[in-house]
Amino acid sequence: MDGAAEDLRALCETLLTHTPPAAVADFLTDQVPEPRSALALACVLQLSDTDEGARFWWQYAAGAGQAAAAYCLYLHHLAQGEEDTADWWHHQADDVSPPPGTPDPDQDIDTVSCAGHWHPANHSLTSTSTATILRVLRRLSQNTARPRSAAIRRLMAYIPDAVATGYLREPETELPLPGVGFAQHVQALITASATRPAKGEPPTRPATRESTETTPRAAGGAAKR
């Protein structure tokens, strides 16, 4: 069970690392994300120890063709000791497929170079190779302090509270509804992370005018000689 929880954490870290920020902020409505965004946001909740909201967003994403969400649910229920439910999602992981006639939603995701090119969102998730790679990722995370991006840290600070508030506002709703302005706030956090560092993160040093003009001037001087 502990191993499943660690595998789930490693899988969430990998999914968030290789999901473009634009995909995380892709929403159907102001409160309901697109399936691929729901997969990523559920991983944010999981890493923030907010299991309930993560589970429902994974279920929503899995029902819309995100196989990685089904595998996350398999690991989630296995970690909870719910083996029958875990087995059901394990079988669903390879059965889930995108709606016919739609482009591959994961075609622009980078692959992880580990035991071949692999990414959890577009691989046969119940295969032995996936289990092996998750174990490798888990061991790497135990021995290497890999900092999260500023965007992910900001989302982890905001989304759990927004989801908890949504459940208090609409307790009868299973799918998290964080409230008006949720999509815009997520987009703003991601945009802010791209333009300024998070607290404690050193700012990116911009290129100076002098450095950008060095090559053209040198070339021009050589031409005059």
Residue 184 lies inside a defined structural domain of this protein: no
Assign 27 to helix, strand or coil: strand
CA 153 to CA 44: how far, in whole Å?
9
**Contact criterion met (CB below 8 Å) for 76 and 54:** yes
Domain encompassing residue 134: 2-150
Q: What is the DSSP letter of 33?
A: B
pLDDT, tens only, 3-62: 889 889 888 988 888 888 888 999 999 999 999 999 999 999 999 998 889 999 999 999
Q: How many residues does the chain have?
A: 225
- Residue 22's pLDDT is what? 85
pTM of the model: 0.70
Is the pLDDT at 107 greater than 60? The verdict is no
Residue 146 lies inside a defined structural domain of this protein: yes
- Residue 58's pLDDT is what? 95
- 117's enclosing H/E stretch is strand 117-118
Residue 196 lies inside a defined structural domain of this protein: no
**Contact criterion met (CB below 8 Å) for 154 and 23:** no
Token pair in block for residue 76? 């989630």
Residue 161 lies inside a defined structural domain of this protein: no
Least confident of 1-10, 64-73, 127-136: 127-136
Mean per-residue pLDDT of the chain: 74
Is the pLDDT at 128 greater than 50? The verdict is no
Residue 111 lies inside a defined structural domain of this protein: yes
CA 207 to CA 216: how far, in whole Å?
15
DSSP class per residue in 94-116? HH--PPTT---TTTTSPPEESSS
Residue 47 lies inside a defined structural domain of this protein: yes
Report the chain's C-alpha Rg in angstroms. Answer: 21
Least confident of 84-98, 136-150, 188-202: 136-150
Taking phi over 0 as left and psi of -120 to 50 as alpha, with beta for the rest, 181 belongs to left
**Contact criterion met (CB below 8 Å) for 34 and 139:** no
pLDDT, tens only, 175-223: 888 989 999 999 999 998 877 655 555 444 444 344 344 444 444 444 4
Q: How many domains does the chain have?
A: 1
